[in-house]
Amino acid sequence: MAYSDKVLDHYENPRNVGSMDKDDASVGTGMVGAPACGDVMKLQIKVNAQGVIEDAKFKTYGCGSAIASSSLLTEWVKGKTLDEAQQIKNSQIAEELALPPVKIHCSVLAEDAIKAAISDYQAKQGKESTSKSA
Amino acid sequence: MSIDLKQNYFALFGLPVTYAVDRAVLDQRYRELQRLVHPDRFASAPDQERRVAMQQATRINEGYRVLKDALARGRYLLELRGHRFDDERNTHQDSAFLMEQIELREDLAAVRGSRDPFAALAAILARIGVRLAMLDTELAATLAQDGIPATALTAIQRMQFFRKLAHEAEELDADLEDGS
């Protein structure tokens, strides 16, 4: 199967590979896996006091399309508010990377990963505010 | 002889519709069914009968493939109960489980560089084997309940991850044997 130029670019020069401290209160971590292909994606976001995503990192174990989907997503979410990032749809990723139908699940993985990272961050903030008020 | 092509695979093989399947009985039924529709028996039969026998043989082979395999059988049983798997949309989000998957991937990637690649790979394969056996037991227990238990769907997903890992480990094993 031929990868698109954009997939190849992200695959060969992945952006924002790495990891952040998952115990940092300003970091949200999303871990998702696709059972059908065994791919596993870890996506982390660092959120500032204004609710804007300052930085994003990923680590993906899987095929080129999964790596490209997460690489692209980390580029997209930087500078976005949590609400804006929450709106990103897998179809936008699939379209940007020209993913073939059999690789759509890679973009689904990326969408679920950012949603999971956001809810992890929000759960941490919720816990903090309760412990502060308590 | 008549084999109803519309009956489910369990019925086709005369087995109860359960996850636990007696492999010896399944194998024996498979041979009996194969004999019934063997092309040799239809060599001089009219085209129509030959075609039907061929369709039946295909159905029998497919049923055997599904019933003898834990993962395929579990999925099939849930489909019979009305579940529709959407593999494109289906994601797993248990962090601890996924961390273990990543760890195993990293172990697998480190095999080639290790002092004794065969021993390292054997240890990984053994670990995968143990986890697959545990998931098999878990699936049997959860599918003993009626309906579509969420625990069964989770066990199926986990089995898929471990199957994929097992496949990669076996490929690496073959490469090592080849000396490549």
ipTM of the complex as predicted: 0.80
Q: Which residues of chain A neighbour B98 with C-beta distances below 8 Å? A: 31-33, 40, 42
Residue where the block lists tokens 């059908």? A36
- A132 pLDDT exceeds 70? no
| Distance between CA atoms of residues A91 and A106, nearest Å | 11
Q: Which residues of chain A neighbour B160 with C-beta distances below 8 Å? A: 35-36, 38
Taking alpha carbons only, the member of B50, B56, B51, B54 closest to residue B6 is B56
Q: How close, in Å, is residue B35 to chain A by CA atoms?
A: 35
Q: Specify the range with the lowest mean pLDDT, choosing from A101-110, A124-133, B23-32, B53-62.
A: A124-133
pLDDT score, position A63: 87
Average of pLDDT values for B68-79?
A: 97
| CA angle centred on B82, ends B96 and B158, rounded to 5° | 20
Q: What is the pTM of this model?
A: 0.86
Q: How close, in Å, is residue B108 to chain A by CA atoms?
A: 12
Contact A62, A106 (CB under 8 A): yes
Check A38 against B160: CB less than 8 A apart. Answer: yes
Higher pLDDT pick, B39 / B133:
B133
| pLDDT tens digits, one per residue of A41-73 | 999 999 999 999 999 999 999 889 999 999 999
Residue where the block lists tokens 């690649």? B117
| pLDDT tens digits, one per residue of B90-137 | 899 999 999 999 999 999 999 999 999 999 999 999 999 999 999 999
A106 is a catalytic site residue: yes
Q: Mean pLDDT, chain B, as a whole number?
A: 93
What are the phi and psi torsion angles at A35 (to 5°)? Answer: -60, -35
pLDDT score, position A95: 96
The one-character DSSP state at A2 is: P
A37 is a catalytic site residue: yes
Best to test chain B binding among A99, A105, A115 (most B CBs inside 10 Å): A105
pLDDT score, position A134: 44
Spacing of C-alpha B5 from chain mean position: 22
CA separation (Å) from A8 to A33, A38, A108, B26, B175?
22, 21, 19, 47, 26
pLDDT score, position A97: 95
Q: Where are the beta strands (DSSP E) in chain A?
A: 27-34, 39-47, 53-61
| A120: Cβ contacts below 8 Å, ≥ 6 apart | A28, A29, A30
| Distance between CA atoms of residues B80 and B90, nearest Å | 19
Contact B118, B52 (CB under 8 A): no
Among A129-133, B24-28, B98-102, top mean pLDDT goes to B24-28
